[in-house]
Structure 1
């Protein structure tokens, strides 16, 4: 069927007039005001179709255009009626635990309460859970009634999950209007790396009256251990006179040597030295060493790249390690260790942690940087690799392939 020339010309004129009217309206109405109108993309399409049909009806008196216009108008009016009115709704989102280990489930609940006098129509709660989202359908609520729905999320990696802020969404059946209300509350949930705290007490070689006790027996210190017979050359100031009178021979006091035990951990963050699994293993090793030291009351300083953390609690260091990430083009690890040692002269125990990008030979050289009286352990995190141990008593280099190897590895390392 051919379209007459008159009709074609009229259509072109209508399109030009519509385009001109749209430009004028756009210049007069701010874009931000348009964005506040809760129409979806489909809603804008229906509205535009209705306005175009209205223009066609006025221009050519087309009955079909009038029908389309009224259909669009009725659809929009129905959408407004379905989404109109918010009511006095209160929304509360809580989580059972805000600190989890990798692999545990994040559990929480959302409670919606109608605090107004009128019924609240059904709506949807959109709850962001980090990179994912939980959609919760809330039924119609009478005055004073509440609706509770529990949600869960399986944690698969070390990360900080932001729960919220939640949004309540009202939509019509056709999806023309979407009214969204954002709630300001949000909660941070830390998913900790896996760690083990059963690593014992790490103490250095510098004697200190305020340090931790070791198993080394000495003739003078603060912690009494036992008595022994006098030997030639012993310091008579440590004779136990009451026991000597009882036994008939001179008896000497023995003590357990106390050693300074400030623990320095230097974690390499250079992306070039790790694969993804290697870095996770390195973070788990750092977390295990840190938690073990802090649980035994030992001071701890953690260097992670250029960030320095003087941790007082295990929670502080685990929160930090939850968010630590690799850095592109980070400082060379040898230079980082030198820098850390220069600023932590009080440390007596040093744990150096890096990835397979640093060779065993180079790591052995780095382990020689700390002072002679500083107990040093180098840990090379190579996920899936066979466990190996090299070095002398005070300088050990461990190559671990999984976290379960670390306690056994450290038990073979004499740090006391």
Structure 2
């Protein structure tokens, strides 16, 4: 209420409005707290109790009045059990924040009693992904602490949120339930399983390293020709003998040496994979290739399909690059990928990658058994000339093999262990 106001009545109106707003705020907070503590059964009893008392007195039913007062006693006892504060402290710890699929992963809850008096035993709840673990911890004397371990399932790749650890105070009937969070959420990365690939097994990459191209460069190791000096040229490349004969400065010109830029393209389109098992194998193949390239200090790009948003007018032609700064960063990103109907197929992924990534020397295309040879050839043709394309078909139902289709190498792997053997065969082929 803004403006000129005079008189005692105007001040009373302002005071009433302010008190009303403050009371409404207090009531809203009270309702919010009550709704978070009282269970549906508790709300039902809160409605039933006054109804029994009113109906009992109105109809003269002593039994109904007795039931009403009994419900009042039950509600009071339930509220008393939820009142109070806990004096202990709780900590959550995951010894390993990153594991591979199928590896053992555990967590530890530490409860300490920093006071001098004894505290009763408690039950703590630990949300793990979509599940819930309950741990019953014993009572503690003053200054004591206890550790309790629990297992985290790692049968699927992904990021599993663990926590927060919470305690629950409430009555045995379940009328009230007061939850108190003690820790933050801790994330456990479940990486795809990988296999070690010796750097010498990828002979086609080794052979490409250091070979000259037709592109000219002002500084490299493969000499091409001499040309006249231009402003801005590095004077260290002046060829003095030729300059003396020609009467003008002549500088060396070089052929640019090829650097092996590896591209690993993983399709996320479910049309490229027959089963989830094939897709998980494809993720493991891409992870193994990427980790090996990063550890060999090679220039590598790992890309996956981008999804087209729902209700979009046209298909989104884009790829999502994954982090290749370290093997851990790459595996973290691969822990989150999932295939879907809205993701680009391998031919579109190859076309977009060939346009956006420069200097590709070797391209690995990771697909499933439903991708045909025609689609693979279309994907390979999307890369610039001179790019060595290797298609890796993940099919657990087929015998591993190696074949050449036009200018493309096609590897078929049934298990992750087949990848090392198949890549080794490319050296001899």
TM-score w.r.t. structure 2 length? 0.73
Look up the match of 1:351: 364
* 1:414 and 2:421 correspond: no
Residue 342 of structure 2 is matched in structure 1 by 329
Q: Is the 8 A contact 1:384 1:401 kept in 2?
A: yes
**Is the contact between residue 91 and residue 183 of structure 2 (CA under 8 Å) also seen in structure 1?**
no
Structure 1 vs Structure 2 CA RMSD: 2.8
**Residues 350 and 375, structure 1, Cα contact 8 Å, conserved in 2:** yes
1:364 aligns with 2:361: no
Q: What is the aligned counterpart of 1:396 among 405, 409, 412? A: 409
Q: What CA distance in whole angstroms lies between the structure 2 residues aligned with 1:361 and 1:312?
A: 34
Deviations 1:273-308 (A, max 9, x none): 212111111101101101111121112111101211
**Distance in 1 between the 2:417 and 2:208 partners?**
30
Q: Relative to structure 1, is the Cα distance of residues 35 and 142 closer, same or farther in structure 2, using a 3 angstrom cutoff?
A: farther
The separation in 2 between residues aligned to 1:171 and 1:63, in whole angstroms, is 31
3-state DSSP of counterpart to 1:67: helix
1:174 offset after TM fit, Å? 2.1
Deviation at 1:57, TM superposition (A): 3.2
* Equivalent residue pairs, number: 345
Unmatched runs of 5 consecutive residues or more in structure 2: 1-23, 213-220, 223-256, 306-318
TM-score (norm 1): 0.75
Superposition map of 1:84-99 within 5 A: 84-99=83-98
Residue matched to 1:44: 43
Evaluate the alpha carbon distance shift between residue 288 and residue 282 of structure 1 in structure 2; reply closer, same or farther with a 3 A threshold. Answer: same
> How far apart are residue 398 of structure 1 and its match?
1.0
Between 1:300-309 and 1:175-184, the stretch displaced more is 175-184
Which of 323, 326, 329 lines up with 1:313 in the alignment?
A: 326
Matches within 5 A, 1:4-403: 33-37=30-34, 38-116=37-115, 119-201=118-200, 202=202, 203=205, 206=208, 208=210, 260-274=259-273, 275-305=275-305, 306-391=319-404, 395-403=408-416
CA pair 392-413 structure 1, distance change in 2 beyond 3 A: farther
SS at match of 1:311: coil
Q: Are the counterparts in 2 of residues 104 and 155 from structure 1 also a CA contact under 8 Å?
A: yes
- Check the 8 A contact 2:272/2:371 in 1, yes or no: yes
